Homo-oligomer: A and B are copies of this chain.
């Protein structure tokens, strides 16, 4: 099987590293708009070789994985569409799925099959230099096919996903985007806002000296790629705005309750319980 990865960042590169080790018979071609990234991906073993052009990467593949930030997926689909062979499977790794499926439905010829993909893994350390063969291991890997996608295409992708140690989860694109707004995009916005809220204060030169591991972890996501997050917000803005406003109301309500220690304790205990339950389910305990 010939597989092409277009966009060799943290996730595309990690996907290549994992697949190369798990499925040595698959030949992996790579393309990135930055030729230095292609060279680095080849050095690191994430791809067998680089394609000279994006068209070549598309034309020679049985399976194309698009690893670019979400807004770039559209232009990649537009560019590769005329060059794809019949029955090629196309998938992506981007953070939102509704818009991606719309673009794939509109731009790809009916002779190829599309499955939207999103592995729930990442790091604020982006780029091919930080790619790791085990980054996606154990991660839930969302799969959202187009209505026209045949079941055996979905099964082919699920088999690839399983072979690299990730856990495929079939989910409707709208459900996916609603869920990541809550557990991925809102947390990123909070981390970013926390940095700005604290660092814009006149006392920050003193305050920053007292910031420790709690602050470090609560702001980690703010060190992620700003352009990637701008793209994500652009494709999921309504859901994110609703969460920001709902969360702001919750904080204002909490501010009004700070003189009620019993209510606060119940609130903290409930959050403690809910998080422990989530951790237990996640770790399969």
Please tell me if A15 contacts chain B, counting CB pairs below 8 Å.
no
B210–A184 touching, CB < 8 Å: yes
A211 nearest CB across to chain B (Å) = 4
A53 nearest CB across to chain B (Å) = 29
Question: Which of B178, B214, B230, B278 contacts A187, CB < 8 Å?
Answer: B214
B250–A245 touching, CB < 8 Å: no
> In the bound complex, how far is the Cα of B209 from the Cα of A142, in angstroms?
10
Please tell me if A151 contacts chain B, counting CB pairs below 8 Å.
no
Interface bin, chain A? 35 or more
10 closest residue pairs by CB, A with B: A226-B268, A248-B248, A244-B255, A183-B211, A195-B271, A120-B212, A199-B274, A187-B218, A248-B251, A192-B271
A-B contacts, 21 listed (Cβ < 8 Å): A120-B211, A121-B212, A142-B210, A169-B209, A169-B210, A175-B206, A182-B201, A183-B207, A183-B215, A187-B214, A192-B268, A193-B271, A195-B274, A196-B267, A199-B271, A218-B218, A223-B279, A230-B268, A240-B258, A244-B252, A251-B251
A→B interface (CB under 8 Å): 120-123, 139-140, 142, 169, 171, 175-176, 178-180, 182-184, 186-199, 201, 203, 206-224, 226-227, 229-230, 233-234, 237, 240-241, 243-252, 254-256, 258-259, 261, 264-265, 267-272, 274-276, 278-279, 281-282
